[in-house]
């Protein structure tokens, strides 16, 4: 797609219904991101997400799809202790979760790990810039690469993960000019999220794109729908109908055959007044 100058749409999904809808919309890549820690589990960061949880959510997405590339996120501290740990975690996400590829955060510091995982036959997507698993080290969810030294480090990070064998790289929350420079320097595709218009592709979080939450909208996100309002309206209508006794109706109820009802009544099974 990069060689053919085709922009690459990527969406996160964390369950079977969402993944099925993404496939019907002809999304070519689904990322089962550890962002589920925030948008599904209610945490402030993705740090509490475990490998077992990633395997669980990835397996749901895989079962619901046949055509998209499914990338599973390696969560916090499941690939940084040693190369062996990283390879074991990646293998589990592939074997038990059914992922087609894995994603991990880090640049030069993780090049050796990427190379070893790739050498085992596991495709790796890299991730640099704002790396949410390092939020405590970075001092929050902040734009990265704004000063000269930081920008140079990110350029070197991108080159390092490409040389290590990564097939693609996520560029998160960095100046658009830097995103453009990295994209032009690399042979592999760049997938941007808050990295400007010149990346080879763009990834968005399902809940942001659908407008499910409105209390906080990241600058890099765009609401393509207002599903949250629609859901709240539907739930209020349901609650009002239940309180008013207008749901369920006969159309939503099941009936018993007359002879069975008659037999129940004759056998004295029907409760008597005052019981």
Q: Which residues are catalytic?
A: 172
Query: CA 198 from chain center: how many Å?
Result: 22
- The Cα 127–Cα 180 span in angstroms is 16
> What sections of the chain are H helices per DSSP?
16-24, 36-39, 51-63, 83-95, 111-119, 135-138, 148-164, 176-185, 206-210, 227-244, 258-266
- The Cα 222–Cα 204 span in angstroms is 8
Residue with tokens 């940084």: 80
- The Cα 112–Cα 252 span in angstroms is 60
Identify the DSSP state of 27. -
3-state secondary structure string across 206-222? HHHHHCCCCCCCCCCCC
Cβ neighbors of 63 (< 8 A, separation 6 or more) are 16, 98
Whose CA is closest to 34, among 15, 47, 18? 47
Q: How many angstroms separate the Cα of 103 from the Cα of each of 33, 91, 134? A: 9, 12, 15
Q: Half-sphere exposure (CA, 13 Å, Cβ side) for 260?
A: 3
């Amino acid at each position: 797609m990069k060689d053919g100058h085709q922009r690459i749409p990527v969406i996160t999904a964390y369950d079977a219904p969402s993944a099925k809808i993404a496939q019907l919309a002809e999304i070519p890549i689904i990322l089962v991101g550890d962002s589920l820690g925030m948008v599904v589990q209610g945490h402030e960061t993705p740090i509490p997400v475990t490998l077992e949880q990633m395997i669980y959510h990835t397996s749901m997405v895989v079962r619901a799809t046949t055509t998209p590339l499914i990338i599973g996120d390696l969560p916090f501290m499941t690939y940084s202790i040693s190369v062996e740990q990283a390879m074991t975690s990646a293998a589990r996400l592939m074997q038990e979760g059914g992922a087609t590829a894995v994603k991990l955060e880090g640049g030069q510091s993780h090049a050796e790990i990427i190379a070893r995982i790739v050498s085992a036959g596991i495709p790796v997507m890299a991730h640099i810039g704002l790396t949410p698993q390092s939020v405590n080290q970075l001092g929050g969810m902040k734009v990265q690469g704004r000063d000269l030294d930081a920008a140079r480090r990110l350029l070197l990070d991108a080159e390092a993960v490409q040389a290590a064998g990564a097939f693609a790289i996520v560029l998160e929350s960095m100046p658009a000019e830097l995103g453009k420079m990295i994209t032009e320097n690399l042979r592999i595709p760049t997938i941007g999220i808050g990295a400007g218009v010149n990346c080879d592709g763009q990834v968005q979080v399902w809940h942001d794109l659908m407008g499910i939450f409105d209390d906080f909208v990241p600058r890099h996100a765009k609401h393509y729908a207002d599903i949250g309002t629609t859901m709240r309206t539907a739930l209020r209508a349901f609650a009002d109908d239940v309180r008013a006794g207008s749901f369920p109706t006969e159309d939503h109820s099941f009936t018993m055959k007359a002879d069975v009802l008659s037999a129940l009544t004759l056998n004295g099974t029907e409760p008597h007044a005052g019981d």
